[in-house]
Structure 1
Amino acid sequence: MPLFSLKKTLPLLLAFSLSHLAFAEPQHGLAMHGDLKYPTNFTHFDYTNPDAPKGGDVKRWSMGTFDSFNSFIIKGTPADGLGLIYDSLMEKALDEPFSQYGLLAANVDMPESRESITYYLRPEAKFSDNTPVRANDILFTYNTLIEKGSPFYKAYLGDIESIEALDELTVKFKFKTGENRELPLIIGEIPILPEHFWKERDFSATLQTPPIGSGPYTLDSFESGRSVTYKRNPDYWGRDLPVNKGRFNFDTLRYDYYRDTTVSLEAFKAGEYDFRQETSSKQWATSYTGPQFDSGELVKTEIPHHRPTGMQAFIFNTRRDIFNDPKVRQALGYAFDFEWTNKNLFYNAYARTHSFFSNSEMAATELPTAEELEILTPLKDQIPSEVFTTVYRAPTYDGSGNIRRELRDALRLLKSAGWELKNGKLIQKSSGQPLTFEILIAQKEMERIIAPMSKNLSRLGVEVSIRVVDVSQYINRLRAFDFDMVVGSFGQSSSPGNEQREFWGSYNADKPGSRNIIGIQSPAIDTLIELIIKAPNREQLVLRTRALDRVLQWNHYVIPHFHSRSDRIAYKNKFDFPKIRPDYDLGFDTWWVKESAH
């Protein structure tokens, strides 16, 4: 039976009309903590140009390939850009930590207890085939995502108790408790699906035909696995809403796929596409040169940002016996010499990452305060003792490449964990098995970062191999937890919440397709996650997130990498953009093509 149902009976409507009296006046937006920045009568976000001209064709690039237009399941490799075709109930403001304003929903009602929320749909909202967006589409979306979608949705939406359509334009969500303060805002972010399109299709299967949505673009054309093109819908129902004014200005947006990042860069310099965001410091320092840049045809720039940078790292699969012991994981971390790597490979472009919430106030960078200790002390017997006594720092070196002393420290840790060095190989005393593992990657460029670490590991008697696979195979192996170690990342927002369950929660450690790729199963971490989700205010959210950060750090689940506090972008000199940039995103959907370039 579906969790959610459509009820139109008179008793229900009467009950609703009475319960409605307990609500405040309908709101035009929601804020996670604090007040909304934009008033009821706002006309556009500050970081948009409401008079931006429409028009122009834009090309971007993507890595790998695609074989599906269903991005909501764990099967297949979905095409990039599919979010352009969907609207959600609310739209997030990119200059506030976590606030959102009405999109499909004109207004919302939510009591102070946060035990429920009611959305009032805009009667003019419609899908691209002119079918109206109605309450049954909202019900269908949540039923389907929880029952057939990626495990992520079941975790993300697990605290919904029920959803009822009170009439065609009114939908009420009830929650198991009012303590999951983020959940009302999460509901507002979910893409809404058209029931009439999906009801005759198998949602659990990959989709080969263009889907229908209510968003600003439609999927116009595609070449299987090679390119996909979206066309701005001239009849888009929501184009004049305050949350959309000045956005979605390109007539078409095409994604071309490349198998190799180096080839894709050369294609960019040859004028094959228009915009590129660079992640390789070497490429940024050495390859963005030439007559195209000298003449101004191509523009290269760095834009500082205020976003949390999360954690990019070498990630251990703790389901593997060799990585069960935190001492082993800690010891292997000594082999990554970031300072040498940064100087010799990255042109000193990066800062070392020490926190899972780097570049944010949630990062644990000092000893725990008295308030944090109140959170952590009840868990004392379940978490590493260093959480209380020492600020975590990933191994730090002088950049010379001489790390003999630290490798000796690593070897002592390995010996204390039951390993010994015999004939140049690290052997487990109990089983006689050598310590060998494979690092799985999809980007060949990562080999130059792994190679120095691999060399240091070999000095410890550890044998490491590198396996490069295509993007589709990489995704499938991650979904099946079929790896020893990968290079990956855990992105974070300025308002952590329910996604932490998916990253670290015990319940889905062995569920294929979950984001808990580490395989963490820790009651203490589960407790801290729930405390974050239930944080009553911003101050407690920060304190509880720092507490989680400390426990993750000292369990040595990853070997931290590095991060940049700016976006490195290059683009054809055909674009213009608003004078004000959003704090928490690049805001590419606020750019426009100069009329002279049409």
Structure 2
Amino acid sequence: MRSVSFAGFAQALSCVVILAATSPAQAEPGHGIAMYGKPALPPDFVSLPYANPDAPKGGRIVFGEAGGFDSLNPYILKGSAPWGLGLHTVETLMARSIDEPFTLYGLLAESVETDEARNWVEFTLRPEARFSDGSPVTVEDVMWSYETLGTLGHPRYRNTWGKIAKMEQTGERSVRFTFNAEDRELALLMGMRPILKKAQWEGKDFAESSLEVPLGSGPYTVSGFEPGRFITFRRDPDYWGANLGFNRGLHNFDEIRYDYYGDGDVTFQAFTAGETSTFRESSASKWQSAYDFPGVKSGEVIKAEIPNQRPSGITGLVMNTRNPAFDDWRVREAMIQAFNFDFVNQSINGGSEPRITSYFSNSPLGMGDGPATGKVAELLAPFAADLPPGTIEGYALPQGDKDRAVNRKSLRKATALFEEAGWTVQDGVMRNAEGTPFTFEILLQSGATQTEQVVDIYVQALKALGIVPTVTAVDNAQYKERTNTYVFDMAWYTRSLSLSPGNEQMLYWGASGITEPGTRNWMGMNSPAAEAMIAAMVGSRGQDDFVAATQALDRILTAGRYVIPVWYSRVSRLAYDRHLHYPEWIPLYGDWPGFQPETWWYED
């Protein structure tokens, strides 16, 4: 199993960017494209380094999922589609290697070409590319897919579509996108949009949720489903791309099935009973204490810890600043002070998990301790007057007390902050000058046992401040609807972040998300400084500028005090049937989309 230190990654990334700064950018058709420098793999690579090209085909893998689904269109805002649908059945022009920060290799496209400034990008389709019904994938399908997703699809597609000045067919199998913005990431993003068959959707409303299976070109087809209960995928024996270097050793199971259960506890019970093949454990303490069931003891179930080198991302309780009470940074800081992370971590994880200290912590992109210096300080300086305290000077989360549920020192700080913001405890209740109680709702998904445990501890601490929030647990469909439309005060929030953040950050933190439904800006932040840092990130031509812009964004997000962060894990904990196997080479991103089930196989 390969393991690489973060220091080693930073050094490698530095070398890549030095190459980018001293060598001419790609100016002729190539087999792949990297955000910085050149792709690590040559044009004739046999397989991805983290795939086993000799892996046997056959067998099945069964996943257990909490919740359900009511739609088979994962590309629109309406409805809730099953996780694996787009992943297994639909392809993109280029495909991402999860062993490099951000590199794409040809999939439906045999080549990619761009100019030095990346003002445009052109893709040439493979002549053999086929949809699962045997019809060819055409430039017309590509152009229809991009325009439809950009205008009728989920909001995640719209920001990029708005940066396209012109889309044109340049040959029988070639399409070119010309951009209207200085954004070096666009040349890669254009290779990552799902390609659907235009003819399937003629006369139909793409934006309406339905149970019609989208026709794709991927290695699997939907073989059966029952909304809310299961969906099954069968490997296509006539899959056009089976022998591509990118695919060799991937997509090994004959059948992939997702079964749906009421909540996480029931999902785990199904796994222990042998009804599902694999389970991803999020609790460190449960990993140590709950895996003594017969399957583990007999060796029928294997436990593995998969390391990764990606940023921590952000997980915790997000405060919706659309609620006037949370619009004040002092109130948000008070809420953070009241959260005794050390006690929560000790109670749930045995104190074993590190805390998330910033959005890009655990990586070279993290903001670091102390005041901003150098390029980071220069980037933040024009916005200094409007930034929350700590953004430039340095911000750190409060120190907790693992032995006591209520941390009195932090609660005193919280009380003082509330008073500064106009809230005081009156007759045991936190109220403002008009006597209105400080109340809010915490929205959770039903069956999220660990999250409920965290919130229970937090609610008890808040009572000491005269605050009694309402905790509401709803099913997946209601949770998605309410968070898509931002109808909540506080909710459980998770955002995974990559080693090459870019345009997606605008979807996460951009001001358009204040009112536009379906973005990931759940906190409702409106920060010109954050948007300026994102622009600097996607326009960077070298490592120093890119890292400085990302670290500056990290400071703005963290000192914005929008999320009460909990913990992250340096490993993924996977338990699985002994007949399942994965390669020894662990990719840079570890257990990330593209790892399980793609690289796994079944063998007696």
* TMscore range, shorter length: over 0.9
Which is worse superposed, 517-526 or 564-573?
Answer: 517-526
Structure 2 residue runs of 5 or longer lacking an equivalent are: 1-24
Query: In 1, distance between residues paired with 2:546 and 2:348?
Result: 37
Question: How is 1:540-559 mapped onto 2 (pairs within 5 angstroms)?
Answer: 540-559=545-564
1:474 pairs with 2:479: yes
Residue equivalent to 2:569: 564
Residue equivalent to 1:99: 103
Residue equivalent to 2:49: 46
Shift of 1:209: 2.1
Residue equivalent to 2:412: 408
1:237 pairs with 2:240: yes
Query: In 1, distance between residues paired with 2:161 and 2:573?
Result: 34
Shift of 1:329: 0.5
1:323 pairs with 2:296: no
Shift of 1:539: 2.2
Query: In 1, distance between residues paired with 2:232 and 2:543?
Result: 41
Residue equivalent to 1:584: 589
Cα-to-partner distance string for 1:251-303 (whole Å, 9 max, x where unaligned): 01000001111111111011001011111334323211122111100111212
Q: Which of 504, 509, 528 is the aligned partner of 1:523?
A: 528
Residue equivalent to 1:187: 190
Query: In 2, distance between residues paired with 1:288 and 1:200?
Result: 52
Shift of 1:162: 1.5
Shift of 1:592: 4.0
Amino acid at match of 2:467: V
Amino acid at match of 2:226: E
Check conservation: 2:580, 2:603, Cα contact below 8 A. Answer: no
SS at match of 1:533: helix
Query: In 1, distance between residues paired with 2:582 and 2:171?
Result: 41
Shift of 1:132: 0.4
Q: Which of 442, 459, 462 is the aligned partner of 2:464?
A: 459
Check conservation: 1:46, 1:580, Cα contact below 8 A. Answer: yes
1:575 pairs with 2:549: no
Check conservation: 2:73, 2:213, Cα contact below 8 A. Answer: no
Residue equivalent to 2:346: 343
Q: Which of 216, 219, 226 is the aligned partner of 2:222?
A: 219
SS at match of 2:597: helix
Q: Percent identity?
A: 39
SS at match of 1:448: helix
Which is worse superposed, 356-365 or 279-288?
Answer: 279-288
Shift of 1:472: 0.8
SS at match of 1:334: helix
* Distance 1:157-1:309 versus aligned 2 partners, 3 A rule: farther
Structure 1 residue runs of 5 or longer lacking an equivalent are: 1-21
Shift of 1:24: 2.8
1:506 pairs with 2:514: no
SS at match of 1:588: coil
Amino acid at match of 1:488: Y
Query: In 1, distance between residues paired with 2:391 and 2:227?
Result: 50
Which is worse superposed, 248-257 or 581-590?
Answer: 581-590
1:491 pairs with 2:499: no
Residue equivalent to 2:426: 422
Which is worse superposed, 412-421 or 516-525?
Answer: 516-525
Cα-to-partner distance string for 1:80-121 (whole Å, 9 max, x where unaligned): 201210111001111111001110100111110100011010
Which is worse superposed, 381-390 or 460-469?
Answer: 381-390
Residue equivalent to 2:21: none
Instruction: Please provide the CA RMSD for this pair.
Output: 1.4
Question: How is 1:24-173 mapped onto 2 (pairs within 5 angstroms)?
Answer: 24-82=27-85, 83-173=87-177
* Distance 1:23-1:51 versus aligned 2 partners, 3 A rule: closer
Shift of 1:580: 1.1
Query: In 2, distance between residues paired with 1:393 and 1:106?
Result: 48
Q: How many residues align?
A: 572
Cα-to-partner distance string for 1:518-539 (whole Å, 9 max, x where unaligned): 1111222221221122122222
Check conservation: 1:310, 1:357, Cα contact below 8 A. Answer: yes
Check conservation: 1:61, 1:276, Cα contact below 8 A. Answer: yes
Query: In 1, distance between residues paired with 2:297 and 2:33?
Result: 47
Question: How is 1:252-291 mapped onto 2 (pairs within 5 angstroms)?
Answer: 252-291=255-294
Which is worse superposed, 439-448 or 315-324?
Answer: 439-448
Query: In 1, distance between residues paired with 2:171 and 2:496?
Result: 38
Check conservation: 1:49, 1:590, Cα contact below 8 A. Answer: no
Query: In 2, distance between residues paired with 1:383 and 1:471?
Result: 36
Query: In 1, distance between residues paired with 2:496 and 2:441?
Result: 24
* TM score, norm. by length of structure 2: 0.93
Shift of 1:26: 1.0
Query: In 1, distance between residues paired with 2:92 and 2:424?
Result: 56
Residue equivalent to 1:207: 210
Amino acid at match of 1:157: W
Amino acid at match of 1:91: A
Amino acid at match of 2:466: G
Query: In 2, distance between residues paired with 1:158 and 1:348?
Result: 46
Question: How is 1:378-457 mapped onto 2 (pairs within 5 angstroms)?
Answer: 378-390=382-394, 392-401=395-404, 402-429=406-433, 431-442=434-445, 443-445=447-449, 446-457=451-462
Check conservation: 1:356, 1:553, Cα contact below 8 A. Answer: yes
* Distance 1:377-1:230 versus aligned 2 partners, 3 A rule: same
Query: In 2, distance between residues paired with 1:475 and 1:156?
Result: 23
* Distance 1:408-1:86 versus aligned 2 partners, 3 A rule: same
